[in-house]
């Protein structure tokens, strides 16, 4: 596998690794170029088809160049503080490292910088055999259920869906515009976080809200992290099929536990439920988000505290969750604080796990039984205490964790349940960049065919 284990704070593997060896303040791309000249840079072979994956935020742009077939990552990096004169960027290509500090005016400038950093590191995008650019788009609404080739109409639809994801889709459009400007002759593909969950049954995706209001304002459960849930659930099915299991109706729960966290129930490869809803606020307790909460809290805080809707939204999304309960959102800090007797951290962990167990139990019933539970993302992959607490005392339901296997650190997908556990428990590293690249390559090839 090409993925790296995500850190316990829930950031992605790209975030965790792209800054390795970063130069201090004042580093320039020229410094990176000299470093790159001395390092051995793996280059894509002439018969290799690579995909450039772009994940554009409002003030950042993450990217990765990889071969979706061999799962080889040739380069990865990040541009931060776009729109500011103290922006920074870093690119890792094998042993080569190309940094930058300075002004990056907008996303077009960021993409031009990315191209320059590739050249500084000895790998020009023009010579990298790029056959597609895959864009992560958070919100696809009910319109986009599959990876989609981006043209002007699709671009405008993504912009319009920004009404449902105002923090994410406008930034994705900026990244799309910038990348299409830089690489106009290469197919650009949108891969939607919500696409996997467009398959949700109507009863699962529908809120018990006045149906006229729901229809007018497109209010339904869209879910999130769908690319990860799809990828991980497919990996689990492949692993169990290789052991001889019949996976045609495999009943599994996937727990994507990062700073943002979500759960899904998947039967036979199709989702039947997920924890996030209209927005990523619903569901599990997260790093700074409440997860499930009585909607009347909005009215109560407005009337009692005089808070505006935007102020309340900020509290629920950015000042709550583990951060709001304990003053910490990084699980490395939280587990250390618990070991030192911090009662706020202990309570926060209990609240977090209680919510997890509620979802595991309800999804097991919704699935009509359970064959596998899988932990993934930064916390799911790297915090054995969460896995142990979440599944403690469930032997009567056929869930038996192997303590030794659970405690082992590994980058690999693995089973951590006991041999006599009726339900398999697994840790499977997610790789959203690989999933986006594979889907983008498939669509690009079908377009040529």
Task: Return the active site residues.
Answer: 193
Helix, coil or strand: residue 170? helix
Rounded Cα distance between 98 and 120, Å, is 7
Rounded Cα distance between 382 and 40, Å, is 31
Q: What DSSP state is assigned to residue 4? A: -
φ, ψ of residue 108 to 5 degrees: the values are: -65, -45
Q: Quick one: which of 262, 224, 36 has its CA closest to 137?
A: 224
Rounded Cα distance between 64 and 66, Å, is 6
Q: Which residues contact 428 (CB under 8 A, 6 or more apart)?
A: 232, 235, 236, 239, 374, 375, 376, 413
Q: Which two tokens stand for residue 26?
A: 């004042």
Q: Where are the beta strands (DSSP E) in 41-83?
A: 50-56, 60-67, 72-80
Q: Quick one: which of 431, 433, 436, 439 has its CA closest to 4?
A: 431
β-sheet with 130-137: strand ranges across? 96-104, 84-93, 72-80, 60-67, 50-56, 130-137, 188-192, 148-149
User: Do 233 and 426 contact (CB within 8 A), yes or no?
Assistant: no
State the DSSP string of 174-216: HHHHHHHHHSTTS-EEEEETTGGGGGS-HHHH--SS-HHHHHH
Query: Which residue bears the tokens 């498939």?
Result: 442
Angle at 429 between CA 413 and CA 115, to 5 degrees: 130
Can you say whether residue 323 is alpha, beta or left, with left for phi > 0 and alpha for psi between -120 and 50 degrees? alpha
User: Do 377 and 228 contact (CB within 8 A), yes or no?
Assistant: yes
């Amino acid at each position: 596998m090409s993925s790296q284990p995500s850190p316990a704070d829930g950031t992605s593997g790209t975030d965790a690794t792209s800054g390795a060896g970063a130069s201090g303040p004042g580093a320039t791309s020229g410094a990176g170029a000299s470093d790159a000249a001395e390092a051995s840079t793996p280059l894509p072979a002439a018969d290799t088809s690579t995909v450039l994956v772009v994940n554009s935020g409002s003030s950042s742009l993450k990217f990765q160049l990889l071969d979706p077939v061999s799962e080889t990552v040739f380069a990865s990096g990040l541009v931060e503080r776009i729109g500011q004169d103290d922006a920074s960027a870093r690119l890792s290509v094998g042993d080569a490292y190309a940094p930058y500090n300075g002004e990056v005016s907008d996303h077009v400038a960021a993409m031009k910088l990315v191209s320059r950093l590739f050249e500084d590191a000895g790998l020009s995008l023009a010579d990298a055999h790029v056959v597609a650019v895959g864009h992560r788009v958070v919100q696809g609404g009910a319109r986009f259920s599959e990876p989609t080739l981006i043209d002007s109409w699709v671009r405008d639809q993504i912009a319009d869906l920004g009404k449902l994801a105002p923090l994410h889709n406008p930034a994705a459009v900026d990244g799309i515009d910038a990348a299409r400007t830089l690489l106009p002759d290469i197919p650009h593909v949108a891969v939607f976080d919500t696409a996997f969950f467009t398959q949700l049954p109507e009863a699962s995706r529908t809120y018990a809200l006045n149906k006229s209001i729901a229809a007018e304002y497109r209010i339904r459960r869209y879910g999130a992290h769908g690319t990860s849930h799809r990828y991980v659930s497919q990996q689990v099915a492949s692993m169990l099929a290789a052991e001889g299991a019949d996976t045609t109706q495999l009943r599994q729960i996937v727990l994507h536990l990062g700073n943002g966290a979500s759960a899904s129930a998947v039967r036979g490869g199709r989702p039947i439920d997920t924890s996030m809803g209209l927005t990523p606020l619903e569901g599990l307790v997260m790093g700074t988000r409440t997860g499930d909460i009585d909607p009347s809290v909005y009215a109560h805080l407005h009337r009692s505290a005089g808070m505006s809707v935007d102020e309340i939204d900020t509290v629920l999304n950015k000042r709550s969750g583990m951060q709001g309960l304990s003053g910490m959102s990084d699980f490395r800090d939280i587990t250390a604080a618990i070991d030192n007797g911090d009662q706020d951290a202990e309570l926060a962990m209990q609240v977090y796990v209680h919510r997890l167990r509620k979802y595991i139990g309800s999804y097991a019933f919704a699935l009509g039984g359970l064959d596998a539970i899988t932990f993934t993302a930064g916390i799911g992959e790297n915090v054995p205490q969460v896995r142990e607490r979440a599944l403690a005392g469930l032997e009567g339901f056929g869930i038996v964790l192997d303590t030794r296997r659970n405690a082992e650190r590994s980058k690999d997908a693995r089973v951590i349940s006991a041999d006599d556990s009726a339900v398999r428990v697994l840790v499977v590293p997610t790789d959203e960049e690989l999933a986006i690249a594979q889907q983008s390559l498939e669509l690009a090839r079908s377009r040529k065919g």
